[in-house]
């Protein structure tokens, strides 16, 4: 009996040293600390000073290629990877520039080049647009994502990996269901 107990304790120690924590895979809930940088080294986003980012793999919350780079990692793992623009927010599309009459904006709004404005797409999705040019009677509005056309580098650390709760799975399944018309 004593010998069997010793073997069991030794097996647990080996498993603990092997880092047998859950691997990131489809439908796993992941919590990561991260920093995103552009090719010039400037930071465009970070969880520094805030809570780590938590999401479910495969739920459509994150860029697919971003998620692919996390697969197989475990709690405590660190990784740095770069997503090409086409695999992140896509290439810039000049057809996404629109001329909007200045009269379409509130009179008290002082538009400036580079200003970002929130709007709602025809799909109902919230989006950010950028004032790219001001002319006599129109503002040229850029509907490209602000990071479109840019390669993005991420330095991440996996803070936690776990199976989703029944409620999380149910919410994810409901959000992926097509809406009946």
Q: Which domains, and CATH codes, for the chain?
A: 21-89+148-175 (3.10.50.40), 94-142 (2.40.10.330)
- Mean pLDDT score of the chain, rounded to an integer? 88
Q: What percent of the chain has pLDDT over 90?
A: 73
Q: What is the pLDDT of residues 48-102, one digit of tens each?
A: 999 999 999 999 999 999 999 999 999 999 999 999 999 999 999 999 999 999 9
More confident residue, 122 or 56: 56
Contact criterion met (CB below 8 Å) for 154 and 66: yes
Contacts of 69 (CB under 8 A, 6+ apart): 79, 81, 83, 154
| Mean pLDDT of the 32-52 span | 97
Provide φ and ψ at 39, rounded to 5°: -55, -30
Query: In angstroms, rounded to a whole number, what is the distance separating the alpha carbons of residues 176 and 172?
Result: 6
Name the CA radius of gyration of the chain, rounded. 23
Residue with token string 């400037």: 42
CA atoms within 13 A on the CB side of 180: 1
What contacts 160, CB < 8 A, 6 or more positions away? 29, 30, 31, 52, 54, 75
Residue of 152, 150, 149 lying closest to 92 (CA atoms):
149
Q: How far is CA 127 from CA 23, 91, 121, 124, 130, in A?
A: 33, 17, 7, 9, 10
Residue 16 has pLDDT above 90, yes or no: no
Closest CA to 162 of 21, 17, 61, 15: 21
Res 155 pLDDT > 80: yes
Average pLDDT on 97-120 reads 94
Residue 174 has pLDDT above 80, yes or no: no
Which helix (H) or strand (E) segment holds residue 173: the answer is: helix 166-175
């Amino acid at each position: 009996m004593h010998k069997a107990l010793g073997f069991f304790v030794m097996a647990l120690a080996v498993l603990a040293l092997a880092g047998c924590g859950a691997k990131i895979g489809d439908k796993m809930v992941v919590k990561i600390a991260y920093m995103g940088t552009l090719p010039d080294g400037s930071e465009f986003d970070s969880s520094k000073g805030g809570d780590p980012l938590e999401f479910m793999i495969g739920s459509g919350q994150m860029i697919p290629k971003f998620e692919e780079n996390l697969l197989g990692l475990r709690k405590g793992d660190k990784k740095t990877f770069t997503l090409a623009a086409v695999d992140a927010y896509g290439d810039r599309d000049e057809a996404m520039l629109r001329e909007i009459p200045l009269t379409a904006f509130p009179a008290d709004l002082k538009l400036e080049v580079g200003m970002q404005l929130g709007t709602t797409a025809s799909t109902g999705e919230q989006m950010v647009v950028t004032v790219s040019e001001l002319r006599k009677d129109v503002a040229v509005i850029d509907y490209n994502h602000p990071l479109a056309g840019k390669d993005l580098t991420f330095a991440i650390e996996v803070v936690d990996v776990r199976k989703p709760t029944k409620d999380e799975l149910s919410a994810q399944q409901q959000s992926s269901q097509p809406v009946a018309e």
